[in-house]
Amino acid sequence: MEKGASFLFAGIHFDKKRFAADFSRFEGKKESDDVIEGLSNIANSDFEVIEDSTHSEKRKRKRKSAATESVEGFSVFKDSKLTVAASVNEENHPSENDPSEERKEFHRKLERDALFRKKYNIHVSGNNVPSPLQNFAELSTRYECDPYILHNLVELGFKEPTPIQRQAIPVLLSGRECFACAPTGSGKTLAFLCPVLMKLKDPSKEGIRAVILCPTRELASQTTRECKKLAKGKKFSIKLVTKEVIRHADFSKFSCDVLISTPLRLRLAIRKKKIDLSRVEHLVLDESDKLFELGLLKQIDTIVKACSNPSIVRSLFSATLPDFVEDLARSVMHDAVRVIVGRKNTASATVKQKLVFAGSEEGKLLALRQSFSESLNPPILIFVQSKDRAKDLYGELAFENIKVNVIHSDLSEIERENVVYDFRAGKTWVLIATDVIARGMDFKGVNCVINYDFPDSASAYIHRIGRSGRAGRSGEAITFYTDEDIPFLRNIANVMSASGCEVPSWITELQKKKWKKHRPKRDSISNKPKDDGDTEQPKKKSKKRRPKRDSIVTKPNGDGDSELQKKKSKKHRLEGDSIQNKPKDEGDTEQQKKKSKKRKLKRDSISTKPKDDGVSKPQKKKSKKTEEA
């Protein structure tokens, strides 16, 4: 221990024999009584040290010598110019190290940004990505945001930005294009509305300045409402493209600040009405993975070509970002920044997910009714794979003691809006829907989502269950599956495990199957046995075919003009006179009947008297003419 202690403190004691020359020099200074000799020795010693020291130490020695000279000449307070010059020199000297210090500060900033992104699970890729937002107050300090936006954010209840808002807003405000992927209910709509309104600054009548595309009418109308709420206080012209707008609007004089539409309607406006999109500064594709599907790709291509402004900023937002969508986005966008929150293509971690084996269609209905009887926690969304199945399920649940409603594409726009409004207002407890409202619709209070029919893809599953657990709230998702769905369970199980849910081990051992769309033909939704259902179907078909069979006269005609009679009967099929079940006792021949039918259409509208004789008035007139002849 003593050896160790002496080793640690060995640097304190100097070997005087080894450094005798240096010690003698310092001791000589102390012993000399002459002040001049002492000053000269100090000056000489300073000169020797400066020669041996580095460049930075030279500057320090020079400053010290300048200070000693001023003190010796008593010129500290006499001449202020010297002190000013000295201070200027001191300020100029660090400028030589400015590039290195700036570089250090830049690296420190990158480290801070990386730690901040790691805290909120934000992943970015691209060149010179802007720093994320710490809070909404930075919108005014960094980007000179107008006060009305900050005021509206407070009124709408936004206190802190969400992870996607922290990174996507600075990217778009810096003029960079981006495609962003974040879980459902994470605030993607505000992430692109806020920078668009900030960039537009003031209302203008110079044409259409921003275009937002949504895959469904419901999502487009919801985006329009949110945009108007955020733009409150500014007279921005925000318009939604509807059928009435396409029919009656004069697009030669059409101008608005923000135009929100579905791809099909905007494409019709471009082709028929020749709407001008050459001045569009911002193009936003919401739910971009749905917009880039094969059915909508041509429409999107037409719209992107019409937005021909060279300084346009494009952005893509979605909860799922497949590889093919990313490749298409990179081909269209220039120097884009990719922003992903959490893991790519994952569901929200606040939703508790569960798989339930139902066996058959009857088992699904029984399981659904059992879940309602055990614990009904409205509002509840039920998803099915087609509108026909939505109608069938609504017919089964309509007579239960549950406030249930249905929404599908066969309903008119007003009817669909009323259904959504009733569900938001709490008038409807259970809403049966197709994938029409699976994307983007913000129902903040949905407690449970039931996948009555197995989703046709992993992205459809993510978007369906994303209607619950929005904005950090907790939710529940139940998925029914049958024997037909077992081969595709592994894909859904991967999504569940990625979001932290427990999955049975036998599902993870299944072979992963590549699938684009999984929509098997399912049995009808009913509790009735299959024998009764099979007997009802042919009856309905026979009713539809009866008019075609009974319109043809089957009795033989001896006059030889059967073809003419058949043609006439086809013309007047709706009159109902060709079918008579009563026996023909009044002595009317087939020929007289056909002749009367010829003239009925001309003269029956004039007289309303009953025909008692069975012979029409035209025939009576004809008989009089023959008698005169």
**For residue range 369-414, what is the model confidence (pLDDT) as tens digits?**
988 888 778 899 999 999 999 999 999 998 888 899 999 888 888 8
- From CA 9, how far away is CA 3, in angstroms rounded? 10
Quick one: pLDDT at residue 312? 94
Quick one: pLDDT at residue 24? 67
Tell me if 204 sits within 8 A of 281, measured CB to CB. Answer: no
Local structure of residue 176 (DSSP, 8 states): -
Residue whose tokens read 């080894």: 18
Residue 316, helix vs strand vs coil: strand
Of 500, 441, 429, 494, which Cα lies nearest the Cα of 465? 441
Listing DSSP states for 383-440 in one string gives E-SSHHHHHHHHHHHTTSSS-EEEE-TTS-HHHHHHHHHHHHHTS-SEEEE-GGGSSS
Which residues share a beta bridge with 407?
A: 433
- From CA 530, how far away is CA 523, in angstroms rounded? 9
Q: Which residues contact 551 (CB under 8 A, 6 or more apart)?
A: 569, 570, 573, 578, 579
pTM: 0.64
Neighbours of 439 (CB within 10 A): 26
Q: Which residues contact 361 (CB under 8 A, 6 or more apart)?
A: 482, 522, 523, 524, 525, 526
| Residue 597 reports pLDDT greater than 60 | no
Mind listing the pLDDT tens digit for each residue in 23-33? 666 655 444 44
The mean per-residue pLDDT over the stretch 260-282 comes to 90
The alpha carbon of 537 is separated from its chain's Cα centroid by a whole number of angstroms, namely 42
C-alpha dihedral, 94 to 98 to 103 to 108, nearest 10°: 50
- From CA 227, how far away is CA 236, in angstroms rounded? 10
| Residue 571 reports pLDDT greater than 70 | no
Peptide bond before 161: cis, by omega within 30 degrees of 0?
no
606 pLDDT band, cuts 50/70/90, is very low
Domains of the chain: 14-84 (no CATH), 110-341 (3.40.50.300), 351-508 (3.40.50.300)
- Which of 127-131, 207-211, 318-322 has the lowest average pLDDT? 318-322
Tell me if 228 sits within 8 A of 197, measured CB to CB. Answer: no
Of residues 50 and 529, more confidently modeled: 529
46-50, 195-199, 323-327, 599-603 — most confident range: 195-199
Quick one: pLDDT at residue 364? 92
The mean per-residue pLDDT over the stretch 148-170 comes to 95
Mind listing the pLDDT tens digit for each residue in 237-257? 999 998 888 887 777 777 889
437 pLDDT band, cuts 50/70/90, is confident
- From CA 273, how far away is CA 261, in angstroms rounded? 15
Instruction: Please state, rounded to an integer, the average pLDDT across all residues of the chain.
Output: 76
Type of residue at 200:
L
| Residue 83 reports pLDDT greater than 60 | no
| Residue 5 reports pLDDT greater than 50 | no
Beginning with the edge strand found earlier in the chain, give each strand of the sheet holding 122-125 in spatial order. Answer: 122-125, 337-341, 178-181, 313-318, 282-286, 210-213, 258-261, 238-240
Quick one: pLDDT at residue 290? 86
- From CA 461, how far away is CA 489, in angstroms rounded? 11
